[in-house]
Amino acid sequence: MSYGLLTLLILVAILFFVFAGRFGSGNFVQISESDPTLGRSDAPVTFVVFGDYQCGYTKQFFDEIYSQLKSEYIDIGKVRLVYKQFPLKEGTHSAAEASLCANEQGKFWSYVPLILERGEEWSQEGNTAFVRYAKELGLDENTFLNCLGQHKYRTQVENDYDEGKRLDVSGTPTFFINGLMIRGTVSLEDFEDILSKFSYV
């Protein structure tokens, strides 16, 4: 074995151990028909986000990365985005259910920025605030109220959380890009670099 090749193998091994705590692989997320998704179902890359609505880093993803990811990858069919609920606090469970009630009326991706921005409001007001946000977006109020009052999506929120635990999700946001797990905050440039590794994107 040449000296150069040996050096390269050692470097790869070092990088693997350095990043092993942040990156994982081989974990494919189960996606159901009721999961909030954006983009073509046959997109070559599936980008899954496990998030919590009182997590500043989940908010940062939506504030700083989501729009550009949508315009540059999702809208042109390269990436499908899927959101999974991973409520870390008791109060966030209700927000997760509300977002899925909004998803039922096709407004998930508009509703989520509101609850991320107004966490202090809904943490105090609860369902009153969630209904107000639904009305702002023009959702059918009675349908939304019934959905929320009957806890229609409680089981889905619990299943998402259990799915996350099975996949070793311990904090938010946690991302899975075609099975590659990425923990913590990641810049748009980091995502673009990762996506560039897929030759079909």
- Please state the rounded mean pLDDT for residues 85-100: 93
How is the chain split into domains, by residue range?
38-187
- Please state the rounded mean pLDDT for residues 85-92: 90
Residue 47's pLDDT is 96
What percent of the chain has a predicted confidence (pLDDT) above 70?
85
pLDDT in tens, 148-166: 999 999 999 999 999 999 9
Which one has a higher pLDDT value, 4 or 92? 92
Residue 28's pLDDT is 77
pLDDT in tens, 1-26: 554 443 433 333 333 333 333 444 44
Which one has a higher pLDDT value, 177 or 23? 177
Domain 38-187 annotated CATH 3.40.30.10: yes
pTM of structure: 0.84
DSSP string for residues in the chain: --HHHHHHHHHHHHHHHHHTTTEE-S-PPP--TTS-EES-TT-SEEEEEEE-TT-HHHHHHHHHTHHHHIIIIITTTSEEEEEEE---SHHHHHHHHHHHHHHHTT-HHHHHHHHHHTHHHHHHHTHHHHHHHHHHTT--HHHHHHHHHTTTTHHHHHHHHHHHHHTT--SSSEEEETTEEEES---HHHHHHHHHTSTT-
